[in-house]
Amino acid sequence: MYDYYDIAIIGGGPAGATFARELALSCPQKRIVLIDEKPRTGSKVCGGLLAPDAQKVLAQFNIDLPKSILADPQIFDVKTIDLASGITRNYQRHYLNMDRASFDEWLLSLIPDCVDVIRGRCHSLAYRSPGEVCVEVEENGEKFEFFTNMIVGADGGASIVRRTFFDSPTKLYISIQEHFKDDGGDMPSYSCIYDPETSDSCSWTIRKDGYVIFGGAFDIKGGRDAYFKQKARVESFLGHSFGEAVKIEACLLTSPRKASDFISGKDGVFLIGEAAGLISASSFEGISSAFLSGKYLADAFASNSEPNRILNYYKRKTAKLRLKLLFKIPKMKVLCSPFLRKIIMKSGICSIKKY
């Protein structure tokens, strides 16, 4: 451990782990520290599905996914349920079902040893002088400080880096999910649920290694009550009870609504992944964007040493990604419109027939 670092990374999910790995490989002489929460005992509040875009990036990295990360069953379609109209449709999908906690730990294991990894929590960040940030961390119940030239925020929807240095709030949901023992009943292996009575976003069910996960995105105000109301409505619609929950999880989830929600950085502070707003507004898929933004920022650091040049390089490299995610916003508005969704689902376009 050092008292002073060239770069401090806050957050060790796919974005932070990718940035740390790629930068350490290209610039092993830099003093890099990554701060992540203590070893995960549960999964991140998401479905834990690896989308084709994320699979493609792993292939470009020449990284193979270990078998131990995968979860049963592997799923080939999603059952979309519209509780308002009662219409259901099945659509082909090509996700990999995985254990998200194991996936994140595996990504951290790929980081070279020259990176210091603190399994603790970042409590505060503040400029001590131009180009120098004081970072306060708690690890194993003890608080300490160190200083760094530059900060990289990779700490998700509730990003302390974004809240501290950028006056640009974005739409946040509370994401809540519960785990239930899989009783083998007639529950979809993977479903996407829309219920405008309880949320203007979507929810999901996923079977995973002997459990069924039910979760969704809800307004922060009253989100817990809305979650349990929707769960009861889903159970009534399916004619099947989830049973008693063995675990409940919650976190904040970003949903970009406009171009200004995507923030790259300023003054030696950079954002990647969901902290930068780089997540799909329509599906909440963010792993592929986390991989790409982490890689692009690492390339920017490897090519430049001056913060403004790093930022300009990073902005250029992520321009296409930001444009792609910008077009996900109108798609989200269509999917979350009860009227338009009913028309689309009633038409059966792009759906598959179950035998």
Check: CB of residue 126 under 8 Å from CB of residue 243: no
Ranges assigned E (strand) in the chain: 4-10, 32-36, 49-50, 77-82, 87-92, 96-97, 116-119, 121-129, 132-139, 142-153, 172-181, 190-194, 202-208, 211-219, 245-254, 265-266, 269-271
According to the model, what pLDDT value does residue 39 have?
Answer: 55
In the chain, domain spans: 4-39+100-170+258-330, 67-99+171-255+332-347
Kindly report which listed range (16-30, 35-49, 334-348) carries the lowest average pLDDT score.
Answer: 35-49
According to the model, what pLDDT value does residue 314 have?
Answer: 98
At 167, the pLDDT band (50, 70, 90 cuts) reads confident
Is residue 92's pLDDT more than 90? yes
Superfamily of domain 4-39+100-170+258-330 in CATH is: FAD/NAD(P)-binding domain (3.50.50.60)
- Reported as a single tens digit per residue, the pLDDT across 119-153 is 999 999 999 888 899 999 999 889 999 999 999 99
CATH of 67-99+171-255+332-347, one of 3.30.9.10, 1.10.10.10, 1.10.3720.10, 3.90.340.10: 3.30.9.10
pTM score, whole prediction: 0.94
- Reported as a single tens digit per residue, the pLDDT across 57-89 is 999 999 999 999 999 999 999 999 999 999 999
Alpha helices in 29-172 (DSSP H): 52-60, 100-109, 160-165
